[in-house]
Amino acid sequence: MDDMKQKLYESLFFDIHSYTYKNDDECDELNTSHIAGCRIKKFYRVDNKYFDKYFKDTGNYISYIEGDVPDKVLVVEKVCALDRYRYTTHGKWLLHSEIMGTQLMNFLGCHCAYNIAIHNEEKSEDDYDIFSMNFIGKGDKFYTLRELNCNLSRGLEVSVSQLEKSLEDYFADFSDKDKERVLEDYVYSYLIRKYAIRDTDFFQGNSGVIVNKKKGTLKYINFDLEYSFGEEKNGLEKDLRFCYSRFPIIYTKFIQIVAMCRTVLNELKEEGIKYQSYIQEQNILTLACALRSINDIVEDITIDNALKTHY
């Protein structure tokens, strides 16, 4: 548990680096405007020393890098609501939530883009940017859930049915095992992102599937988590009951990770967490509240299933 405690603790904290960066015009042809419905994003190349954490432990992060570590890492400028509020408390909240949400999802076992926070030395002291390491590699093609006709607003059961059909239609060359793994990754990420991290902006444009037919790879990925640690979402019990019946292994994995996180957070609280900021403290309190709500529903489902078995 001590190792898990340390890893969870580290996922709740992050560094803001200082660095001078300029737009990389050579990469302007990499059009990401279809992702989350945003405008074309700017690309930068940043010294690899700022990605030490990634290269030491890739974890569940996905990037374009294969083989040797490049001197400069290709990153995408985060174009989000942060731009509209960058000098306000709300803007700082978004920055903290983006990094914390991403690091937590990685720790909890979800595939994500890797983010870092950087202050440009040529700009004012309060001017920070979030950069996301490019996750589309050579030969990769990326499909958002919107492009795969997966409607998250309809709930987990409907969206799984929609995604399952699209996987058959779009990726017929892949094995059933590959497609089932993507479905399982989606279901697990959905539960973590919607109910544990409480991302209030989780929709069809900010996650999807990366495919490389030449390599035979099919991967599900999450990004854009600046609205993590928000209000409680409806539908938890219905989605959990569906997961229990259709994906029992994922259900067990989810409730076990929730239980582990609750235990570790309680231990950290007893030891006295030294918070990085008020924003971080509030986000951790929201996480604890979300985990408690999940646990309450899980207890109800467990009791119901026990009664059904008994009678």
3-state secondary structure of 44: strand
pLDDT in tens, 16-75: 777 666 666 555 545 555 454 455 667 888 888 888 888 888 889 999 998 888 998 888
Which among 128, 111, 107 is positioned nearest to 53, based on CA atoms? 107
At which residue do the structure tokens 């060359």 appear? 173
Longest CA–CA span in the chain (Å) reads 70
Query: Over the chain, what is the mean pLDDT?
Result: 85
224: Cβ contacts below 8 Å, ≥ 6 apart: 36, 78, 80, 98, 201, 205, 206
Q: Do the Cβ atoms of 19 and 46 come closer than 8 Å?
A: yes
Rounded alpha-carbon distances, angstroms, from residue 85 to 42, 92, 94, 125, 309: 19, 8, 9, 15, 54
The ranges assigned to domains in the chain are 14-133
Number of Cβ atoms within 10 Å of the Cβ of 133: 20
Instruction: Report the distance separating Cα 294 and Cα 298, nearest Å.
Output: 6
pLDDT in tens, 212-271: 999 999 999 999 998 999 999 899 999 999 999 999 999 999 999 999 999 999 988 888
pLDDT recorded at residue 35:
52
